[in-house]
């Protein structure tokens, strides 16, 4: 049995009910919800005190999932992602199947394929994309590990994953790039 199986089961129950979770990712701890459920996405905007027009990142388990969620996907993006050392979020045009309040007004969406073991297992078993936004109030510093997450955030979620809470390494947010017509624009390195 995986060391985080109980967390997976509890998180799945909350996500399937439209709740929000606090969970470790391949970068910083994230606030997560079903990226196809507008009410769950709205709960995150409220908790973070963040304007709805400021987009959030979505996590997918693998490259195959991108084919289901991006219209006319440029397959060259896979070659680019093979060259990146740091976890990299890509802004794609033509989002498909996400909550309307999650996609940008121009129809784009920011997606990262997550390689972290817990997250990947959760995504594979949930079978839907997850919102993944940093576990902080909008405008406040990003927590680098679980210990730095404010009580307001901890109290505002429906479930807190136990796995990796004692990990005191300092994590950083992902790089963000925009992919358009085979060209890359770096948003955050």
Query: Torsion over CA of 142, 148, 154 and 155, rounded to 10 degrees?
Result: -110
Question: The sheet that has 57-60: what strands, in order across it?
Answer: 159-160, 21-23, 30-32, 130-134, 57-60, 109-113, 88-92, 175-180, 183-188
pTM of the model: 0.94
Q: How many domains does the chain have?
A: 1
* Intervals of the chain under pLDDT 50: none
Euclidean distance between CA atoms 87 and 171, whole angstroms? 11
* 3-state helix/strand/coil string of 3-50: CCHHHHHHHHHHHHCCCCEEECCCCCCEEECECCCHHHHHHHHHHHCC
User: What phi and psi values does residue 23 have, to the nearest 5 degrees?
Assistant: -150, 155
pLDDT of residue 1: 55
User: What pLDDT was estimated at residue 175?
Assistant: 95
Pairing of strands 30-32, 21-23: antiparallel
Specify the pLDDT at position 182.
83
**Predicted local distance difference test score (pLDDT) of residue 33:** 98
**pLDDT at 57 (0 to 100):** 96
Distance from C-alpha of 10 to C-alpha of 112, rounded to nearest angstrom: 23
User: For residue 160, what is the domain's CATH number?
Assistant: 3.90.870.10
**Structural contact between residues 184 and 80, judged by C-beta atoms closer than 8 angstroms:** yes
Domain extent for 25: 5-188
């Amino acid at each position: 049995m995986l060391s985080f199986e109980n967390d997976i089961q509890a998180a799945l129950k909350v996500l399937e009910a439209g709740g929000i979770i606090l969970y470790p990712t391949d970068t910083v701890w994230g606030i997560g919800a079903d990226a196809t459920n507008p009410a769950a996405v709205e709960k995150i905007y409220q908790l973070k005190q963040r304007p709805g027009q400021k987009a959030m990142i979505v996590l997918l388990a693998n490259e195959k999932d991108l084919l289901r969620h991006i219209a006319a996907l440029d397959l060259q993006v896979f070659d680019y992602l093979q060259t990146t050392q740091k976890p990299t979020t890509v802004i794609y045009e033509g989002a498909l199947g996400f909550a309307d309040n999650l996609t940008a007004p121009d129809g784009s969406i920011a997606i990262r394929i997550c390689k972290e073991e817990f997250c990947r297992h959760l995504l594979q078993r949930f079978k839907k994309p997850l919102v993944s936004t940093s576990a902080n109030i909008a405008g406040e510093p990003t927590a680098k590990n679980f210990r730095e997450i404010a009580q307001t955030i901890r109290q505002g979620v429906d479930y807190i994953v136990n796995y990796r809470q004692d990990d005191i390494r300092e994590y950083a947010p992902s790089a963000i790039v925009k992919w358009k017509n085979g060209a890359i624009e770096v948003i955050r390195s």
